């Protein structure tokens, strides 16, 4: 179970529902020893990613060519479901 830090919706688990970032601030930093523990749902992941990209000189977002990794028959996770409602052809 997790609660989205941004929208406060409750989800059964992280599998397929969210993104998590954990980091412990180092000694001597402003937040010395504090834990950064962010969990956001899929709907909020884009907004959080946009905010992080905005403060980065080098974008942490990389495009992945799933065809090269898994072959051309691999269905991309963000592919729209076909008109007939079939996930697999």
Q: How many residues in the shown chain lie near Zn ion by CB under 5 A?
A: 5
**Contact track, Zn ion, 19-58, x by CB under 5 A:** ----------------------x--x--------------
Q: Is 4 in the site for Zn ion (CB under 5 A)?
A: yes
Question: From the CB of 73, what's the least distance to Zn ion, in Å?
Answer: 32
Q: How many helices (H) and strands (E) does the chain have?
A: 2, 4
d(CA 85, CA 29) in angstroms, rounded, equals 52
Interface residues toward Zn ion, by CB under 5 A: 4, 6-7, 41, 44
């Amino acid at each position: 179970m997790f609660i989205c830090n941004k929208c406060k919706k409750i989800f059964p688990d992280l599998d397929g529902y969210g993104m998590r970032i954990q980091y412990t601030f180092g000694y001597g930093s402003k937040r010395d020893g504090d834990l950064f523990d962010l969990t956001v749902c899929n709907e909020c992941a884009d907004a959080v990613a946009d905010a992080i990209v905005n403060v980065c000189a080098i974008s942490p977002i990389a495009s992945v060519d799933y065809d090269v990794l898994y072959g051309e028959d691999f269905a991309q996770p963000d592919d729209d479901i076909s008109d007939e409602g079939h996930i697999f052809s």
